[in-house]
Structure formats: C-alpha cells, structure tokens
Structure 1
Amino acid sequence: MDEARAARRRAGLVRALRPRAADSPLLDLASNDYLGLARHPEVTGGAARAAQEWGAGATGSRLVTGSTELHARLEAELAAFCGAEAALVLSSGYAANLAAVTALTDTTTLIVSDAGNHASLIDGCRLSRARTEVTPHADPQAVRAALTGHDGRALAVTDSVFSVDGDAAPLRALAEACRAHGAALLVDDAHGLGVLGDGGRGAVAAAGLAGDADVVTTVTLSKSLGAQGGAVLGPARVIEHLVNTARSFIFDTGLAPAAAGGALAALRLLRREPERAARAGDVARELHERLTAAGLTAVRPDAAVVSVRAPSPEQALRWAADCREAGLAVGCFRPPSVPDGISRLRLTARADLTSDQVDTAVHVITATAPVC
C-alpha cells in the first residue's frame, strides 16, 4: 500500500475525501443534480414524510421486509414515465447495472461493451463470467463486427450519455446492429433520464426504443431526481427474472424509504414541470459555447455534462482547486477514471442555474485556466 501511495503521489493522482458543509457557499457545477431537485422543498418533503411513515431504513432485503407500498408506487410511476412495462428499484445505480448485466448473461453469452462505459457496467461484465469484447467508443459498426459469427446469446451494453465527456451513444444504430444478429441491448440511462427525451423521459425514449422487448434500461435516482438509488426498466418477464436471479438485488438491503419518497416526489415534479429538462440542456450548450469561444477545449455536450480538457493531471487538480478558491465547485477527472487518459474538468449544467451564475462560472473557469 505504501508503494502504491507513493506512486500515486508521483503521478499527481492522489484522491481525498472533502466533506462539504450543509450551507456551502460554493456555486455547484460539480454534482449530478441536473435539475436542481436535491434541495427542492417538494423533494425533501417527500423524503421526510417517507421517513416518518416507514422509518429510517428499509429493515431488510426487498424479498424479506424491504419492499414497501412506497417502493411499488415508485416502480409503477417510473416505468410509466419512461415507457417501460415494469421497473425494479435497487439501492443504487451501481447495483442496478450489476443486477442487469449478471442476470441477463451466463458463461455462454457474448457481451459487447463500449470502451467508454461506466465502471459499474465494466464490473458487471467481469462478474458475469461471460466472454466480453470491448469495442471502440460509440461505434455501431464495431458492434456489428463483434456480433458477426457468434452463434448464441449476446448482449450489447452501453451508457446512453457517457459520464466523462457527456457525449451520447447512437442508440438507434446500436439497436439495429443488435437486431441484425438477434442480440439484446442494455442501456445505462443514468445521465439521460431527466435531461433527454420528451419532458426528460430519457435517451431510450428519445431514440424511440422505450418499451421494446429486446431493450433493457437502467437508471439512477441520484442524478436528475436528486435522491438515491437505481432501477432496471424493461419487459415484465425481465424484471421477474431479476427478482429471482440478480444477486445485487436479492442479497442487498432495500432502498431506504426516504430516498424512495424523495425520488417519487422528484419524478412527479418533473412530470409537472417538463421544461426543467430543456433548461439543463440549454445551460450546457451555453457553457460550451462560451468556454470554447474563450479558447478552451471543451466537448460539445449532448446532455448536461460539459467536459473541458486540461493539459495534465497535476494542472487539472490545480485548476479545480483554483476554481474552488474562487467560489466555484467543479469536477476533476483524471486517470484512471478517464478511459482515454486525458484529464479534464467536468462541469454540471443544472436547470436551476441563473444567468448571473452562468456568467460567474464562465469567468472563474477562464480566469483560472492553466497557461499552456
């Protein structure tokens, strides 16, 4: 451990916890609270009421005492909102991805996984013990090639919006590639739900794939919905299969009632105020346009993530620290969290940011940018 620690320090890759205060004065462009709902009174009120009614914890696994009427309502409304036949709520988006990948595959299955996929999908592939072929990022033709000649079950897995650069997967083309070879498609829509699609129904709905029999979606409740937890959405028989086979569901304590209540309140608020989804995208595009106009290298966003390149891990860390000192919280992504080895600042475009706050963010980021 000491040798590894020293190596991390030499490479400028040391990570540390930084507890934040409840009343932090920082302008937040680091969290995944895309719609600004984590502190919305309706959402916190929903969480508080659920805790008062059901208790602080779920008290057991979902198959024992951890399933409440509240969980069932959340699953029904989430499935209806996203256009799926059924849903299954788990304790985190990470657990949802592990459940979906491992329960839908076995040692005879071929998994085709995008090179830019989230760690939870990668870990699901490893735990599945299936043969996994990693394909170049967002490349449907590579997926077709990987599936060609495989005689048996196959599953392609991809993020809908990739968390590092905020670019979207070509879901329709991927679905066509899968269908040409009888494969299923699993989409992690963690960064699409609440931002993309009609009223924030997600990238799968936007691609016209919601409710399809050969498409399964995973989502998180901790980003646009401002709460905690994850869910798998898909055909009812897929959900029934997960209930009986997914280890990260069967052997995990159920999602805390407060998180379920907060997520349900956020979902209902989003249904009532669909303009929040469009606003998050508008803010992302404005940040990108103004930062690139200032000479910075930023990836054009497809959702609410704006990625700004940094010259090195050390400079990225210093840049983020300088932003913090100037009153702005930004994400700092460095190896090994980035698949291409390029360090960057990761900015969250929130729907509740005002024009003045966007101005402040642009000024701070450009004023503190490293000199190349």
Structure 2
Amino acid sequence: MKWIEDELRKLEDRSLNRSLQISATVSGHQGYVLRRQKTLLDLSSNDYLGLARHPAIAAAMTQALLAEGTGSGASRLITGNRPPYGRLEDALAAWQQSEAALVFANGYMANLGVIQALAGRGDVVFSDRLNHASIVDGIGLSRAEHVRYRHNDMEHLRLLLYKHRDAGRKLIVTDAVFSMDGDQAPLAELVALKREYGAILMVDEAHSGGVYGARGEGLCHALGLQSGVDVHVGTFSKAFGVYGAYVSGSRTLIRWLVNKARPVIYSTALPPSVIAGITEALNLVQTERHRRERLAASSRQFRSSLRMAGFQVGPGDSPIVPVVVGDNATALRFSSALEAEGIAAVAVRPPTVPDGTARIRFSLSAAHTPDDLADAANRIERVALRLGVLAQ
C-alpha cells in the first residue's frame, strides 16, 4: 500500500488533501454549527429552507420509527415497499404535476439509475461540462458515448446534436442550478433543442427543488417549462432537510425505471421513518412559502453586500454564492481564516471544480437572519483584505 502514501503526499503538495471534520448542531441556534468547540455561522450547508431541524418532521419520523421499526429489511421489489412509499409517490406526482414518481435512496443513486436505464451502447448522452459528478458517473456506467458541451453554450450543444443526429437514443442531461456556481441552465433553449433533435431531456433539480416555484416545485415549474422536461430528478437532502431523492415523469418512464434502474432493484429500501419525514417535509415545502421568500431576500442581500465589498460574484439569484480565488492553497487559507472569524465556509477545490478555479462556496439558508448575513459579509471582506484576496 506504499503507493497510496505516495499519492496522498502528492495531494498534500498540491493542497488537494481532504479530511473529515466533525460538525455538530448547536441547540437553539439554527443556521449555526459547532466545530472544534467553536460555534460558527454555517455558510456551507445545503439546508436551504432551514427544515433540517423542523419539529414536525422530527415528530413524523419518531412516530414512524416507533410504529414501523428502524429498517425496511429488503429492496422495494422484495418486501421493502411499505405502504408509506406509495402515498409519498402519489403526493410527489401531484406536486410535480406528472403522471408518476419514484423514490430513490439519494440523488447520486437517482442519477446513476436513470441514466443507466435510459442510455447504453450505441446511444449518446449530451452533458453540460459543469454537471454534478453523479451525472458524469452515471454516463460512464451506462456505456453510452459521453459528449460534453461547453457550460450553458447552446450553440455548441446544437452542433454536437447535429453531429450525432443519426445516433441511437439521444439524452440531454443538465443541472437546473449548478451546485458550485449557483447559475441556471438555459432551460427554455434546452427544451427547444431536445424537440428539434428528438432527444430526451433530463433535468436535475437538486439545488433548485424547494427553492423555486410557487410551491417549491423547482426551476422548471417556475419558468413554466415542466411539460417539456421528460425526466425530472430532485433530492430530499437539501431544501427538504431530510434524505433521499425522486424521479418524476410519465407512468411509462417510472415502470421502466422499476424494471431497469439498478439502484432501485438492488438497494434496500429507505426506512419507513425516512419516508415519513420526507412526506412531512413535502407538505412544509408547499405550504410554508415564507421560507422561500426569506431565502430569496437573503440571497439578494448577501450577493449585493459581497459585490459592494469588491468581490466578483457571478450571475444568478440562487442561495449558492461562490467566490473564486483560483489557487488551492489560497482557498484553504481563506477558509481557515473565516473559521477563525466564526464562519464555516468550506474551500472547494479540483476535481469538484475545474483546475485554477478553487473557491469558497457560500451557501445560504432561510435560517439565517439579515443581521447574521450583514455581519458575515463584513467579516468576509475583512479576511479577504488581510489575505490579499481583495485588493486594498
């Protein structure tokens, strides 16, 4: 195993080594995290709506835990398909205004399972260069040809679709909101291109579900484009504050996934307590609109504050606000200095982002107050000036 030690040293030399840090919740202080015995404002979590500690979700999970036990015991095709699953999937389909829905263990498994089920040898998958790793891995496991188009470049995608017009099945896959940049995919143009070239369009709403739409349905619904999307993927681990994922679409699609999506066939079903928590979270996402409104206001405030301080903040209105510093070592120093100032903001480095674009990825929550964010912006500016990330 000496080769592993050698490779780890190489990672350390390039400031790419990673380690696990224990983070605990802070009782009575939502939006904060405890790390190394210090209370920090949490600007790294994906708990966008502040639901991860909602008492109604905890109560639903506790009740199901006592009634149904700790585990499901088998895959859904064996004996793990408990009654709460069907009720949740019916509610998801109604929420998404689709014919049917299917729950997966998590977003990673959903993307792997869907792509493998829809594409194979002789087919082509067109993927945005900045799509999530789970999409990239799903394409690789599918054995279909992987064709990447430049980020949000629809002319490049059009050229590639034309080049592969005689291929077998053609699948276009994109994130709705990109996890490391916070910008949006040009969904209207993607719908038009998929219709023009007879492709299937799959949109991953992991970072937009719960955040956009009148009832939190996601960006596709917010833009009125849901009928043009064939495969809609979303997660319950971010805005929903629980765990798991779903796919919604036609009844035919869901029947096909039940038969062909390997993560569904070969994985133990989620515990009934998790399904109960998701069901309660789905109700809260739809009814507690004030959480989305507060999050949107916080996103505007925080982006504006960073721009006024002199940071180059990219376009968009999502709660994901990256500050690109470029160098891996600088990103790590920035993150450590922010922690010393009471802010948890993790440095994101390659291969999660392209080489030379290491960054601090700030992520907002409805649990943050305006005062939290105003104070954080001041501290971020102060640290950036001290480190030379911002010019004096």
TM-score range, shorter chain: over 0.9
* Matched position secondary structure for 2:156: helix
| Cα distance in 1 for residues equivalent to 2:189 and 2:64 | 41
37-46 or 235-244: bigger deviation = 37-46
**Equivalent in 216, 223, 230 of residue 245 of structure 2:** 230
Q: Does structure 2 conserve the Cα–Cα contact (< 8 Å) formed by 1:199 and 1:277?
A: no
40-49 or 230-239: bigger deviation = 40-49
Displacement after TM superposition at 1:278 (Å): 2.7
TM-score, normalised via structure 2 length: 0.91
| Cα distance in 1 for residues equivalent to 2:11 and 2:273 | 38
| Cα distance in 1 for residues equivalent to 2:340 and 2:80 | 43
Q: Name the counterpart of 1:153.
A: 169
Decide whether aligned partners of structure 1 residues 236 and 339 sit closer, same or farther in structure 2, where only a CA change above 3 A counts.
farther
Pair 1:181-2:184 in alignment: no
Displacement after TM superposition at 1:47 (Å): 1.8
Q: Name the counterpart of 1:17.
A: 20
Q: Does structure 2 conserve the Cα–Cα contact (< 8 Å) formed by 1:222 and 1:230?
A: yes
**Equivalent in 295, 299, 311 of residue 284 of structure 1:** 299
120-129 or 271-280: bigger deviation = 271-280
Q: Name the counterpart of 2:31.
A: none
Q: Does structure 1 conserve the Cα–Cα contact (< 8 Å) formed by 2:215 and 2:287?
A: no
* Matched position secondary structure for 1:148: helix
Pair 1:32-2:46 in alignment: yes
**RMSD, aligned CA:** 1.4
Structure 1, residues 82-121: CA drift from partner, whole Å, max 9, x if none? 2222111011010001111110112121110110000000
Q: Does structure 1 conserve the Cα–Cα contact (< 8 Å) formed by 2:305 and 2:374?
A: no
| Cα distance in 1 for residues equivalent to 2:186 and 2:10 | 38
| Cα distance in 1 for residues equivalent to 2:11 and 2:52 | 33
322-331 or 242-251: bigger deviation = 322-331
Superposition misfits of 4+ residues, deviation over 3 angstroms: none
* Matched position secondary structure for 1:281: helix
| Cα distance in 2 for residues equivalent to 1:365 and 1:217 | 36
| Cα distance in 2 for residues equivalent to 1:33 and 1:278 | 15
TM-score, normalised via structure 1 length: 0.96
Q: Name the counterpart of 1:371.
A: 388
**Equivalent in 194, 217, 223 of residue 210 of structure 2:** 194
Aligned pair count? Answer: 371
Q: Does structure 2 conserve the Cα–Cα contact (< 8 Å) formed by 1:197 and 1:205?
A: yes
Displacement after TM superposition at 1:36 (Å): 0.2
Q: How does 1:110-259 map to 2 (within 5 A)?
A: 110-149=124-163, 150-151=165-166, 152-212=168-228, 215-259=230-274
| Cα distance in 1 for residues equivalent to 2:189 and 2:356 | 27
240-249 or 339-348: bigger deviation = 339-348
139-148 or 121-130: bigger deviation = 139-148
**Equivalent in 309, 313, 321 of residue 306 of structure 1:** 321
Pair 1:45-2:59 in alignment: yes
| Cα distance in 2 for residues equivalent to 1:201 and 1:226 | 15
Q: Name the counterpart of 2:349.
A: 334
